[in-house]
Amino acid sequence: MAGEPEVVQRADQAYVAIKALVTMQTLGTVLPGLHPEVSSWMRARDVAKAGAPFWKYNVIDMERQMEVEVGFPVAVPVAGDDRVVAGVLRAGKYATLRHIGHPDTLFDATTALLDWAAGQGLTWDVTETEEGDRWGARLEIYETDPAQEPNMDNWETELAFRLAD
């Protein structure tokens, strides 16, 4: 189940994350384990979370590999280190879609958002590179805390993809 897509304005948002290179086959096994590592890093440095955890897809080549950051928004910008990167999700207009359902169904929700945006004549903040499509910001924001809602069919995820200026 998904809500209706819409375009929203988002402000700059500082974040910390761990970057990983994955394939479609390793995505679901590698990335989920990185949120606890980022959380531990934040706790050790007394860094406050400013929202739900996310996956930020930087480069996508569905046939080869993807560069993904697994992280959290932070209340105040901080410096990263050799493992954790610090960055800013740039302000701008984002096409968004709220999805309720198992994470396995996010592919269909993503397709629905991409198709909707194409029908609206919207242009993504994306550049073709040799490694794949480099996105300005393509986010899956995991709104549901699994400790509070163990049934994955009830999980809420926000898709937020930055549009070109």
Sketch the domain layout of the chain as residue ranges.
6-162
| Percentage of the chain exceeding pLDDT 70 | 99
Q: Which tokens is 157 given?
A: 């995820």
Over residues 30-82, the pLDDT tens digits come to 878 899 999 999 999 999 999 999 999 999 998 899 999 999 999 999 999 99
Bridging pattern class, strands 85-89 and 132-135? unpaired
Paired with 9 in beta bridges are: 93
CATH architecture of 6-162: Alpha-Beta Barrel (3.20)
pLDDT bin (cut points 50, 70, 90) of residue 164 is: very high
- How far is the C-alpha of 83 from the C-alpha of 145, rounded, in Å? 25
